[in-house]
Amino acid sequence: MRVLSGIQPTGNLHLGNYLGAIRNWVRMQDEMEPGSQCFFFLADMHSITIHEGREQRIRNVRDMAAALVAAGIDPDRSVLFNQARVPAHAELCWLLNGTARIGWLNRMTQFKDKAGKDREGASVGLFVYPVLQAADILVYNATHVPVGEDQKQHLELARDIATKFNTDFGVELFTLPDPIIPKESARIMSLRDGTAKMSKSDPSDMSRINLTDDDDAIMQKVRKAKTDPEPLPETAEGLAGRPEAGNLVGIYATLSNQTADAVCAAFAGQGFGAFKPALGELLVETLRPIRERFMALRTDDAALDAILEKGAAKASAAAEPTLRAAYDAMGLMR
């Protein structure tokens, strides 16, 4: 089993990233069997699709590394690195650009969302972004990719690219990766709008809970979260058509390792005025230790860089045989 996943180092780690992906990364790392490996990386090469100054980008990579370690990624057990330090990703991306089809990329909903109305003005990098993501996964022959639901389509594309490459060149080179998507927290929604996903790019900071938010900020964001005037229902079925209420119950259920039904049963008939403080407390308890570790780790840039450099050396060694075989299959002499 080879586990791999990545996160863009832009802005802060938020609750959606944590519950949708990172918690699963830590779980898979902790339950790893002998002979299995976990690769986790900061997708800084992907982040070129967002314009940022040099200093900010450097800070973001170190901060996201600190956040992942604070959340439980252990660089001695998992290979933790940033993509720019492992050129194999970009090299394989270029080779796969010969395999990926424009029609496939045109169907990517994330590109459509991010490009918005001005498609002609979007960067080429944004368009081929999913090919680099396929290269990230295929260069390690990853078998399991823990992600939130929004990445499902990119994973399907990676499988399509792998299949076409293997067929076109008559090789059994790339492994088809399986997405690992959590049941209860695959899609954490904005606190301001239960139909939009919680995201780093939402202009309203009240829409998300960041890893850096202090206890008061967390309590305040939960208190101000949008809800409806109805009380909590007896079962999760009663949350149908109530996206904000469903989201808050889902977050509570995930944090307390219960089903949404069990949470509804515990709070049935109570209003959100009673539920929100309980949810806030649970969030504060979960996030405070992570935040405290993060704040301490982010003060030592040299230590963070050393972790990433060491991880990159291991990652490069793991990627090299597949990359070499891909060049060879295509008749490209190095």
Crossing angle between the packed helical segments 54-71 and 272-297, to the nearest 10 degrees: 110
Compute the distance between CA of residue 178 and CA of residue 162 in angstroms, rounded to an integer: 12
Catalytic residue, chosen from 112, 152, 183, 200, is: 200
Catalytic residue, chosen from 197, 221, 226, 276, is: 197
For position 279 contacting ligand TYM by CB under 6 A, the verdict is no
For position 141 contacting ligand TYM by CB under 6 A, the verdict is no
CA distances from 282 to 152, 251, 253, 256, 326 (A): 29, 10, 10, 8, 48
Nearest distance in Å: CB 268, ligand TYM: 26
Nearest distance in Å: CB 19, ligand TYM: 6
Residue 89 or 298: which CB sits closer to ligand TYM?
A: 89
> Distance between terminal CA atoms of the chain?
30
Contact between residue 96 and residue 165 where contact means Cβ atoms under 8 Å apart = yes
**Has 183 been annotated as catalytic?**
no
Long-range contact set of residues 108-114: C-beta below 8 Å, sequence gap at least 24: 108/153, 108/154, 108/157, 109/153, 110/150, 110/153, 110/154, 114/49
Question: Using CB under 6 A, which of the segments 112-120, 183-191, 295-303, 305-313 binds ligand TYM?
Answer: 183-191
* Minimal CB distance residue for ligand TYM: 20
Contact between residue 69 and residue 301 where contact means Cβ atoms under 8 Å apart = no
For position 71 contacting ligand TYM by CB under 6 A, the verdict is no
Question: Using CB under 6 A, which of the segments 5-13, 31-39, 233-241, 268-276 binds ligand TYM?
Answer: 5-13
For position 3 contacting ligand TYM by CB under 6 A, the verdict is no
Is residue 7 left, alpha or beta, with left meaning phi > 0 and alpha meaning psi from -120 to 50?
Answer: beta
For position 7 contacting ligand TYM by CB under 6 A, the verdict is yes
Residue 25 or 235: which CB sits closer to ligand TYM?
A: 25
For position 148 contacting ligand TYM by CB under 6 A, the verdict is yes
Crossing angle between the packed helical segments 124-138 and 88-96, to the nearest 10 degrees: 110
**Has 197 been annotated as catalytic?**
yes
Helices (H), 107-205: 109-115, 124-138, 152-168
Number of residues engaging ligand TYM in binding (CB under 6 A): 24
Contact between residue 225 and residue 276 where contact means Cβ atoms under 8 Å apart = yes
Strands (E), 68-123: 79-82
- The total number of residues shown for the chain amounts to 334
Residue 199 or 256: which CB sits closer to ligand TYM?
A: 199
10 is in an annotated binding site: yes
228 is in an annotated binding site: no
Residue 126 or 307: which CB sits closer to ligand TYM?
A: 126
Rule CB under 6 A: choose which of 2, 3, 12, 21 binds ligand TYM: 21
Annotated binding site for ATP: 8-10, 16-17, 148-150, 188, 197-201
Binding site for ligand TYM (CB under 6 A): 5-8, 16-17, 20-21, 43, 46, 133, 136-137, 145, 147-148, 150-151, 186-188, 197-199
Annotated binding site for L-tryptophan: 136
